Amino acid sequence: MSKIAIGGDHAGFEYKAELIKYLTEKGHEVKDFGPYSNQSCDYPDFAHPLATEVEKGNFEFGILICGSANGVAMTANKHQGIRAALVWKKEVAELARQHNNANIICLPARFISLDEAKTFADAFLNTAFEGGRHQNRVDKIAC
Protein backbone atom coordinates (compact mmCIF):
# COMPACT_ATOMS: atom_id res chain seq x y z
CA MET A 1 0.00 0.00 0.00
CA SER A 2 1.03 3.60 -0.56
CA LYS A 3 1.81 6.62 1.58
CA ILE A 4 -0.51 9.32 0.28
CA ALA A 5 -0.67 13.05 1.02
CA ILE A 6 -4.12 14.58 0.49
CA GLY A 7 -5.32 18.18 0.50
CA GLY A 8 -7.19 20.85 -1.42
CA ASP A 9 -9.51 23.70 -0.63
CA HIS A 10 -13.01 24.31 0.73
CA ALA A 11 -14.69 23.09 -2.48
CA GLY A 12 -12.90 19.76 -2.16
CA PHE A 13 -13.28 19.38 1.61
CA GLU A 14 -16.15 16.87 1.61
CA TYR A 15 -14.62 14.67 -1.09
CA LYS A 16 -11.29 14.81 0.73
CA ALA A 17 -12.85 13.55 3.95
CA GLU A 18 -14.57 10.69 2.11
CA LEU A 19 -11.43 9.77 0.17
CA ILE A 20 -9.40 9.65 3.39
CA LYS A 21 -11.85 7.11 4.83
CA TYR A 22 -11.99 5.13 1.59
CA LEU A 23 -8.22 4.95 1.09
CA THR A 24 -7.49 4.20 4.74
CA GLU A 25 -9.96 1.30 4.64
CA LYS A 26 -8.06 -0.03 1.61
CA GLY A 27 -4.86 -0.08 3.67
CA HIS A 28 -3.16 3.11 2.47
CA GLU A 29 -1.42 5.45 4.89
CA VAL A 30 -3.00 8.88 4.34
CA LYS A 31 -1.96 12.25 5.77
CA ASP A 32 -4.41 15.16 5.60
CA PHE A 33 -2.73 18.45 4.66
CA GLY A 34 -5.99 20.40 5.01
CA PRO A 35 -8.12 22.32 4.90
CA TYR A 36 -9.86 21.05 7.99
CA SER A 37 -13.27 22.66 7.35
CA ASN A 38 -15.36 23.83 4.41
CA GLN A 39 -14.71 27.50 5.24
CA SER A 40 -13.39 29.53 2.31
CA CYS A 41 -9.60 29.24 2.08
CA ASP A 42 -6.67 29.66 -0.29
CA TYR A 43 -5.64 26.39 -1.99
CA PRO A 44 -1.92 27.30 -2.29
CA ASP A 45 -1.69 27.24 1.52
CA PHE A 46 -2.37 23.49 1.34
CA ALA A 47 -1.08 22.53 -2.12
CA HIS A 48 2.46 23.88 -1.60
CA PRO A 49 3.18 21.97 1.65
CA LEU A 50 1.70 18.80 0.16
CA ALA A 51 3.75 19.13 -3.05
CA THR A 52 6.90 19.80 -1.02
CA GLU A 53 6.44 16.58 0.95
CA VAL A 54 5.77 14.51 -2.20
CA GLU A 55 8.78 16.14 -3.87
CA LYS A 56 11.00 15.23 -0.90
CA GLY A 57 9.87 11.61 -1.18
CA ASN A 58 8.06 11.55 2.16
CA PHE A 59 4.90 10.45 0.31
CA GLU A 60 4.65 8.25 -2.76
CA PHE A 61 1.62 10.11 -4.14
CA GLY A 62 -0.49 13.17 -3.57
CA ILE A 63 -4.17 13.85 -4.11
CA LEU A 64 -5.38 17.44 -4.42
CA ILE A 65 -9.07 18.33 -4.66
CA CYS A 66 -10.61 21.71 -5.39
CA GLY A 67 -13.54 23.00 -7.40
CA SER A 68 -12.01 22.82 -10.88
CA ALA A 69 -8.64 21.25 -9.92
CA ASN A 70 -6.91 23.88 -12.05
CA GLY A 71 -5.63 25.98 -9.15
CA VAL A 72 -4.19 23.07 -7.18
CA ALA A 73 -2.60 21.60 -10.33
CA MET A 74 -0.98 24.90 -11.26
CA THR A 75 0.30 25.35 -7.71
CA ALA A 76 1.70 21.84 -7.35
CA ASN A 77 3.37 21.96 -10.76
CA LYS A 78 5.49 24.94 -9.65
CA HIS A 79 7.58 22.35 -7.78
CA GLN A 80 10.32 20.88 -9.99
CA GLY A 81 9.86 17.30 -8.80
CA ILE A 82 6.09 17.29 -9.17
CA ARG A 83 4.03 16.08 -12.08
CA ALA A 84 0.45 16.92 -11.11
CA ALA A 85 -2.29 15.76 -13.47
CA LEU A 86 -5.81 17.17 -13.66
CA VAL A 87 -8.06 14.13 -14.01
CA TRP A 88 -11.73 13.96 -15.05
CA LYS A 89 -11.82 10.48 -16.56
CA LYS A 90 -10.43 7.07 -15.54
CA GLU A 91 -8.35 6.73 -18.70
CA VAL A 92 -6.74 10.12 -18.04
CA ALA A 93 -5.73 8.92 -14.54
CA GLU A 94 -4.17 5.78 -16.03
CA LEU A 95 -2.32 7.64 -18.79
CA ALA A 96 -1.04 10.25 -16.34
CA ARG A 97 0.73 7.43 -14.50
CA GLN A 98 1.65 5.23 -17.49
CA HIS A 99 3.08 7.93 -19.75
CA ASN A 100 3.84 10.92 -17.49
CA ASN A 101 4.79 9.26 -14.20
CA ALA A 102 2.46 11.73 -12.46
CA ASN A 103 2.87 11.77 -8.71
CA ILE A 104 -0.12 13.96 -7.81
CA ILE A 105 -3.69 13.56 -9.05
CA CYS A 106 -5.85 16.69 -9.08
CA LEU A 107 -9.60 16.12 -8.90
CA PRO A 108 -12.32 18.69 -9.81
CA ALA A 109 -14.95 18.21 -7.09
CA ARG A 110 -17.50 20.44 -8.80
CA PHE A 111 -17.41 18.40 -12.01
CA ILE A 112 -17.13 14.75 -10.91
CA SER A 113 -19.09 12.57 -8.50
CA LEU A 114 -17.62 11.13 -5.32
CA ASP A 115 -17.78 7.65 -6.88
CA GLU A 116 -15.81 8.94 -9.86
CA ALA A 117 -13.25 10.50 -7.52
CA LYS A 118 -12.75 7.10 -5.86
CA THR A 119 -12.50 5.34 -9.23
CA PHE A 120 -9.98 7.86 -10.55
CA ALA A 121 -7.89 7.69 -7.36
CA ASP A 122 -7.83 3.87 -7.55
CA ALA A 123 -6.84 3.95 -11.22
CA PHE A 124 -4.08 6.47 -10.50
CA LEU A 125 -2.69 4.60 -7.50
CA ASN A 126 -2.84 1.17 -9.15
CA THR A 127 -1.28 2.08 -12.48
CA ALA A 128 2.48 1.80 -12.97
CA PHE A 129 4.73 4.08 -15.00
CA GLU A 130 5.69 2.32 -18.24
CA GLY A 131 9.13 3.91 -18.48
CA GLY A 132 10.85 3.17 -21.78
CA ARG A 133 10.26 5.87 -24.39
CA HIS A 134 8.19 7.81 -21.83
CA GLN A 135 11.14 8.18 -19.42
CA ASN A 136 13.04 10.36 -21.90
CA ARG A 137 10.03 12.67 -22.18
CA VAL A 138 9.47 12.83 -18.44
CA ASP A 139 13.15 13.69 -17.96
CA LYS A 140 12.58 16.81 -20.11
CA ILE A 141 9.68 18.20 -18.05
CA ALA A 142 11.62 20.00 -15.29
CA CYS A 143 13.09 23.42 -16.11
Q: Pick from 111, 130, 131, 27: which is nearest to 65 by CA?
A: 111
Radius of gyration of the CA atoms of the chain, in A: 14
- Pairing outcome for strands 61-66 and 104-108: parallel
Active-site pick, 99, 106, 134, 143: 99
How far is it, in rounded angstroms, from Cα 22 to Cα 51?
22
In the residue annotation, 99 being an active-site residue is answered as yes
Active-site pick, 41, 66, 79, 106: 66
Residue 58 DSSP code: S
In the residue annotation, 66 being an active-site residue is answered as yes
Annotated catalytic residues are 66, 99
